[in-house]
A and B are shown apart, each in its own frame.
Chain A
Amino acid sequence: MAFWTILVKDLRLELRTRESLATMVVFAATIILLFAFAFSAAPAQLRSFAPGLIWITYFFTAVLGLLRSFGRENEQDAYDLLLTAPLDRGAIFLGKMAAFFILLLAAQLVSLPFFILFLDLPLWKAPTAFALILVITDLAIAAVGTLIAGMSLRSPAGETLLPILLFPLLTPILIAATEATDAVLAGQPLEEWDFWLMLLLTFFGVFVLAGTFIFDYISEQ
């Protein structure tokens, strides 16, 4: 119940303002443009850098989205009020996580054409495989991201702490997503890289469980 309320609240806020989605997409496009200029010396090698570039861009985009998603809660102490409500904190975590997952996925899908256009990536050749990577990776990012953002963004130095804490924790995700994307771009069949998907799923499963428990303890007033 609380889960749906939080999820719908976050999505409705976003649909009314579209500020997170707009900033995330424009940010992603800007970064891709920077990459295209920075690596223009070697267009032939760009293909081998591409999976890394995609995921680095998406990681930065995710941080931007988290800053908005929780920054909004800090306005007029909304978050403190939310925690005062007689709700299960685990449900608050899951609700925020699900809303952020949808937001991140939407931002990525909208900015994907830039990658295909500017970096000349044949991602449409294996749409289901790439969609699978995208969805599972985003779930994993959302789980850890929501947990860390829920802590760091209530601190005075939150905006700077968030990426410092988040990126090292997400190393396995960056590696798995990059390697899997690389395999897809190289046209490898699913059997040859499905262990990366398993790693991503394990990561998500572990941290969604851990997050649901831990969030309860760190969300005291």
Chain B
Amino acid sequence: MKSFHAIRKNQVLLGITLTVALVNLWIIYQVAPVVVEQEMAQKIFYYHVPLAWNTFLAYLVVAITGGAYLVTNDPKWDTWSLAGAEVGTLFALLILITGPIWATPIWGKSWSWEPRLTTTLVLFLIFLGYFMIREFGGPYERSSRYAAAVGIIAVIDIPLILTAVTWWAPEVQSHPQMEMGSQPASILNVFLFSLFSFILILVYMILYRRHVGELTYRRLTQQGGANHV
């Protein structure tokens, strides 16, 4: 099996992803208008919000492929699940970092129990547990089944967590940009381009991680050691 970047279409994907990401950065700095009351701090939203959308996209991949793995028992679905979980959790961590960076100058404190940020934190913790059960859950076959189940449970839990933390802290000010659709076109277009850029990054990272996951799995099964990992 070839390495990931030896495959032509992956090289093309990497090229497009990198170009779009750089153009995106340039647009955010040079083209996007400066929002008067927030100045430069507002620009982190072009990273923060697409990261959030893509985190949930990645976790959706985890739940769906996890379900497919439980039903079919085909290890290829498990490599998808693992890739989605790792990329999603990395993105979740970036949300948890970019959120406070924005909040520090705007709200005057780094952490507020804003419902969506809180939900991300809880999800992040759940997925740390996900990796732990994968790692320490016993034989490979069993631990990946458990991980698939935890991934599904976590995604089912998202709306419940969001509801609970929203009702729990109703006084916490929500994002100033509740409705992206009601933003002026100059901001909305930059946001949509950034969203596109991050979807490309998500797809590229998941494909890459999945490829590595499959190579790892093959190596394990060739050594006949899949049951001892």
Contact = CB atoms under 8 A, between A and B. Distances in A.
Given A165-B129, A202-B160, A210-B152, A171 B137 contact: no
Interface string A186-221: 000000000110010011001100100010011010
B22 interface: no
Contacts of B168: 175, 179
Contacts of A214: 70, 149, 152-153
Interface stretch (A6-14, A68-76, A100-108, A148-156): A148-156
Interface in B115-147: 122-123, 125-126, 128-129, 132-133, 136-138, 142-143, 145-146
B133 A169 contact: no
A172 interface: yes
Interface in B131-178: 132-133, 136-138, 142-143, 145-146, 149-150, 152-154, 156-157, 160-161, 163-165, 167-168
A161 interface: yes
A195 B156 CA distance: 19
Nearest to B169: A175
B71 interface: yes
A217 B149 contact: yes
B161 A172 contact: yes
Nearest to A166: B129
A206 B138 contact: no
Given A171-B164, A199-B163, A161 B129 contact: yes
**Prevailing SS type, chain A contact patch:** helix
Contacts of A151: 133, 137, 146, 149-150
A86 interface: no
A182 B154 CA distance: 27
Interface residues on A, range: 20 to 34
A203 B168 CA distance: 16
Contacts of A147: 149, 153
Contact of B163 (A154, A168, A172, A220): A172
A38 interface: no
Contacts of B136: 155-157, 161
Interface of A: 144, 147-148, 151-152, 154-157, 161, 164-165, 168-169, 171-172, 175-176, 179, 195-196, 199, 202-203, 206-207, 210, 214, 217-218, 220
Given A155-B146, A168-B125, A172-B157, 11 more contacts: A157-B137, A161-B129, A161-B132, A164-B129, A165-B150, A168-B123, A172-B160, A172-B161, A210-B152, A214-B152, A218-B70
21 contacts: A147-B149, A147-B153, A148-B153, A151-B133, A151-B146, A154-B138, A155-B143, A161-B136, A164-B132, A165-B129, A168-B122, A168-B125, A169-B154, A171-B165, A172-B163, A199-B164, A202-B160, A214-B152, A217-B71, A218-B145, A220-B142
Interface of B: 70-71, 122-123, 125-126, 128-129, 132-133, 136-138, 142-143, 145-146, 149-150, 152-154, 156-157, 160-161, 163-165, 167-168
